[in-house]
């Protein structure tokens, strides 16, 4: 329901806005190239680094994209500790990923799928050069390599049929692929996870000798398995003690239930009896990490079962006396990206805090210290034995860049230069953090990105971006989907609000929208629009909004309520909260009970967008991927059909080979082109009578 919401707010503006020209997307006047979506795909993307124990060398995966081939190619790159010697370390046609230095610093283990490999395998290569040597040949593939501290073995994860020896796994996979009978049967959740169906295979930890030889199962003998929905990565689900005698891992202690209860277990390497260290906690426990001296086992703990955004508390098990204590009880942030300090007296973390990912020092029995502050986000930490800390720094106009972190004063020293030439010739806009008053009179932090050559004497259209989650805050970093600077190249001011429910602003703020997902975030978005309408450099008649996932849901909530936006974009949106129970997300929401329970009926009718279709009258672009099992494609079809039947301008863009996100280069370019086209059709400058 469009428009009327701003009327009273505009009457309160301090002065009438003078008639001014409307800015449009124009070629850069600096001699630099605009930051188009095509240009963003030219950026080489650096992944999780690893640093040698002596701190002298750093290795990280770097992905470059080929638009014509519509894919990325990932090689391992190497740097000296001062940033010199930057070069590609591997240049094989296959993708190389997940590098990790050996304890003596002489070798790098990594994952690759090379000639004749039917699945990704574990390889090692000498740092000083030579050919890579394959350590595994498993039909089920390999991920998440980790060295034993003595360098004699490596652990890894593979997804296997629990009832078959490793040598027979490939035969079953081939038989299944060739079978004319394609039915699958489930007796428990989950059925799907993100973009794939979850079959009976289980994630398990194995070990293989560095010299080569038989693969040893480490978790299978316990009768437990790593979480079944861990399809996006397993690296944080296990750890090896410094003496190599014990394995800590995460498993669901009650897999027969419909809702997960992940616990932290330990088992002697080669043993069968696992010990549950978190049995008393009925919510999620995870990310086990042994201290370098072996005394402590750290892990994170949540207290609300089924609430993925509950505070992640740092827990410390003293392996000498068996005690478990919570650390930093007065600290209102979630602990993420943790690595142990070499003295075993502190951890370092990459912490989501107030719109920025910051490096924190977390001393045992002490107080957390913000090291890097708000200037840029720094994450993906790696620590050397000599104390050198490296990570990836980024902002809205700097892609992930390898840096060294000074842990005393928080400064970061740039090490990688692979994107420097491209960035130096790119016309970026500026950005800033602003705060406005949102729902309940509370302050709301918002990132505002300005188009290149921004002139405050002109007036610009606004694209109000809505983040997903709903609890995943927008932090100061370069997103390659929903890139604010790409939209800025069209001549738009863009803005991300960290509305009620966002992470990094205290747990009460994060939890303030449960179970009512709609009202406070909606009000925060509307109040942001009111704030912009009072700025002399915004054309208040040319505001649009959109988002993906929860952002698409909130865009559809806005569609059914009063708002000032001329057009909307709803990508991967939840439209009908009843049918959303068929998605994998349903396995994570036991907290407030089912939709059939009487106490939930009124709330669901209020916050499910489909109940408010009578109010729909705003042109809405609907986008979805077929492989999205987080928010299945039926939501898009229901919304699109509803808009068609109501005669509301709409368009449905369907990607048969994409999931919750648009990940392929050519599809990504098309996505941006279609959003631009939609705004050209429905948010063009109004004609003067």
In this prediction, residue 588 carries a pLDDT of: 54
pLDDT tens digits for 200-212? Answer: 999 999 999 999 9
Compare 565 and 597 and report the one with higher pLDDT: 565
User: In the beta sheet, which residues pair with residue 275?
Assistant: 266
Give 23's pLDDT tier (boundaries 50, 70, 90): very low
Give 583's pLDDT tier (boundaries 50, 70, 90): confident
In this prediction, residue 12 carries a pLDDT of: 38
Q: Are 545 and 524 in contact (CB under 8 A)?
A: no
pTM, to two decimals = 0.94
Residue 25 scores a pLDDT above 90: no
Three-state secondary structure call for residue 197? strand
Distances (CA, A) of 427 to 26, 33, 138, 486, 672: 11, 6, 48, 10, 18
d(CA 41, CA 58): 25
In this prediction, residue 133 carries a pLDDT of: 97
Residue 589 scores a pLDDT above 90: no
DSSP line for 204-272: EEEEEETT----EESSGGGT--S-TT-TT--GGGEEE-TTSSEEEEEEES-TTSSS--EEEEEEETT--
Mean pLDDT calculated for residue range 579-607: 80
Structure tokens at 262: 């992940």
Give 92's pLDDT tier (boundaries 50, 70, 90): confident
In this prediction, residue 687 carries a pLDDT of: 62
pLDDT tens digits for 151-172? Answer: 999 999 999 999 999 999 999 9
In this prediction, residue 15 carries a pLDDT of: 31
In this prediction, residue 36 carries a pLDDT of: 98
In this prediction, residue 590 carries a pLDDT of: 63
Residue 587 scores a pLDDT above 80: no
In this prediction, residue 6 carries a pLDDT of: 47
pLDDT tens digits for 379-435? Answer: 999 999 999 999 999 999 999 999 999 999 999 999 999 999 999 999 999 999 999
Q: Are 361 and 407 in contact (CB under 8 A)?
A: yes
User: What average pLDDT does the chain have?
Assistant: 94
In this prediction, residue 685 carries a pLDDT of: 84
Mean pLDDT calculated for residue range 19-30: 43
User: In the beta sheet, which residues pair with residue 366?
Assistant: none
Q: In what order do the strands lie in the sheet containing 431-437?
A: 431-437, 443-449, 493-498, 460-466, 538-548, 567-571, 620-625, 650-655
Task: Return the HEC string of 79-116.
Answer: EECCCCCCEECCCCCCCEEEEEECCCCCEEEEEECCCC
Report the percentage of the chain scoring pLDDT > 90. Answer: 86
pLDDT tens digits for 434-468? Answer: 999 999 999 999 999 999 999 999 999 999 999 99
In this prediction, residue 29 carries a pLDDT of: 57
DSSP H helices in 31-71:
37-40
In this prediction, residue 596 carries a pLDDT of: 83
Residue 554 scores a pLDDT above 80: yes
Residue 239 scores a pLDDT above 70: yes
Residues whose CB is less than 8 angstroms from the CB of residue 290 and which lie 6 or more positions away in sequence, other chains included: 239, 240, 241, 242, 248, 296, 297, 298, 340
Mean pLDDT calculated for residue range 491-504: 98
- By C-alpha distance, which of 284, 320, 283, 285 is closest to 299? 285
pLDDT tens digits for 352-388? Answer: 999 999 999 999 999 999 999 999 999 999 999 999 9
430 alpha carbon, distance to own chain's centre: 24
């Amino acid at each position: 329901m469009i428009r009327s919401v701003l009327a009273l707010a505009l009457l309160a503006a301090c002065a009438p806005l003078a008639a001014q020209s409307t800015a449009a997307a124009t070629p850069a006047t600096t001699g630099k190239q605009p930051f188009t979506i095509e240009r963003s795909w030219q950026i080489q993307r650096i992944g999780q680094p690893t640093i040698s124990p002596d701190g002298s060398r750093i290795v990280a995966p770097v992905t470059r994209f080929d638009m014509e081939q519509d894919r990325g190619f990932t090689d391992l790159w190497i740097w000296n500790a001062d940033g010199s010697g930057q070069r590609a370390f591997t240049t094989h046609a296959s993708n190389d990923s997940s590098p990790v230095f050996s304890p003596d610093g002489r070798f790098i283990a990594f994952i690759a799928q090379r000639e004749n490999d039917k699945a990704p395998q574990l390889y090692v290569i000498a740092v000083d050069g030579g050919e890579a040597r394959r350590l595994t040949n498993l039909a089920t593939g390999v991920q998440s390599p980790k060295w034993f501290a003595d360098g004699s073995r490596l652990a890894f994860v593979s997804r296997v049929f629990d009832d078959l020896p490793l040598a027979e796994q490939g035969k079953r996979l081939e038989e299944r692929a060739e079978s004319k009978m394609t039915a699958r049967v489930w007796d428990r959740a989950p059925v799907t996870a993100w973009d794939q169906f979850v079959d009976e295979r289980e994630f398990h930890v194995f070990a293989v000798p560095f010299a080569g030889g038989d693969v040893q199962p480490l978790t299978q003998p316990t009768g437990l398995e790593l979480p079944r929905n861990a399809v996006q990565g397993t690296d944080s689900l296990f750890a090896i003690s410094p003496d190599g005698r014990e394995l800590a891992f995460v498993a669901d202690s009650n897999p027969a239930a419909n809702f997960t209860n992940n616990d932290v277990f330990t088992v002697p390497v080669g043993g069968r009896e696992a010990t549950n260290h978190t049995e008393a906690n009925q919510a999620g426990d995870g990310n086990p990490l042994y201290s370098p001296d072996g005394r402590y086992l750290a892990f994170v703990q949540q207290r609300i079962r089924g609430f993925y955004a509950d505070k992640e508390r740092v827990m410390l098990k003293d392996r000498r006396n068996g005690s478990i204590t919570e650390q930093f009880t007065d600290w209102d942030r979630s602990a993420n990206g943790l690595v142990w300090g070499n003295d075993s007296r502190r951890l370092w973390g990459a912490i989501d805090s107030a719109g920025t990912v910051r490096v924190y020092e977390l001393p045992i029995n002490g107080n957390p210290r913000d090291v890097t502050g708000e200037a840029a986000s720094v994450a993906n930490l790696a620590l050397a034995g000599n104390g050198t800390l490296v990570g990836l720094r980024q902002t809205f106009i700097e892609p992930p860049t390898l840096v060294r972190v000074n842990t005393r004063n928080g400064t970061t020293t740039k090490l990688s230069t692979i994107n420097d030439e491209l960035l130096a010739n790119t016309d970026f806009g500026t950005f800033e953090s602003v705060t406005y008053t949102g729902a309940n009179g509370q302050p709301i932090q918002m990132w505002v990105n300005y188009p290149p050559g921004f002139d405050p004497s002109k007036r610009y259209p606004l694209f109000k971006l809505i983040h997903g989650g709903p609890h995943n805050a927008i932090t100061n970093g370069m997103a390659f989907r929903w890139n604010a600077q790409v939209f800025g190249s069209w001549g738009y001011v863009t803005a991300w609000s960290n509305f009620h429910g966002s992470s990094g602003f205290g747990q009460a703020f994060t939890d303030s929208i449960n179970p009512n997902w709609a009202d406070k975030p909606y009000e925060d978005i509307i109040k942001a629009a009111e704030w912009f309408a009072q700025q002399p450099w915004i054309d208040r008649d040319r505001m649009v909004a959109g988002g993906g996932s929860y952002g698409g849901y909130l865009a559809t909530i806005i569609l059914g309520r009063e708002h000032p936006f001329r057009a909307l974009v709803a990508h991967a949106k939840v439209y009908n909260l009843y049918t959303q129970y068929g998605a994998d997300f349903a396995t994570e929401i036991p907290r407030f009970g089912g939709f059939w329970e009487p106490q939930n009926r009124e709330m669901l009718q209020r916050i499910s967008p489909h109940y408010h279709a009578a109010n729909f009258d705003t042109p809405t672009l609907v986008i979805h991927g077929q492989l999205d099992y987080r928010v299945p494609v039926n939501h898009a079809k229901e919304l699109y059909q509803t808009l068609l039947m109501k005669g509301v301008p709409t368009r449905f863009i369907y990607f048969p080979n994409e999931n919750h996100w648009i990940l392929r280069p050519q599809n990504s370019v098309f996505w941006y082109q279609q959003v631009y086209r939609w705004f050209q059709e429905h948010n063009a400058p109004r004609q003067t009578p």
